[in-house]
Amino acid sequence: MCRDRGLRLPGAAIPNLVGAYVYGDFCRGNIDALVLDNGAVAAQRSLDVEVPSLSSFGQGSDGELYALSLDGPVYRIDPAS
């Protein structure tokens, strides 16, 4: 695995991610989230999102989560419909 940096979301447009630490795997492009409780992992799950050449994350002023790719695109991560 090639873990990339992540981002802790204080507030988010996706309610299930509020307070979660979102991180990704550069080699596979997978994005996952985990929640800590007193320093221990309380929950961990895949977001079922893949971003090729995943390089970083950001959060917009609107609370939206974005993933950046070294291939050029910026992806907005939306809630599952």
Phi, psi for 40 (deg, rounded to 5): -110, 150
Could you please report the per-residue DSSP string of 27-65?
Answer: TT-EEEEEEEETTEEEEEEEEEEE-TTEEEEEE-TTS-E
Q: Does pLDDT of 77 surpass 70?
A: yes
Which tens digits make up the pLDDT trace of 22-74?
Answer: 999 888 889 999 988 888 999 999 999 899 999 988 888 887 889 999 998 89
- Residue 68, exposed/middle/buried by CB under 10 A (0-12, 13-18, 19+)? middle
> Model confidence at 2, in pLDDT bands (50, 70, 90)?
low
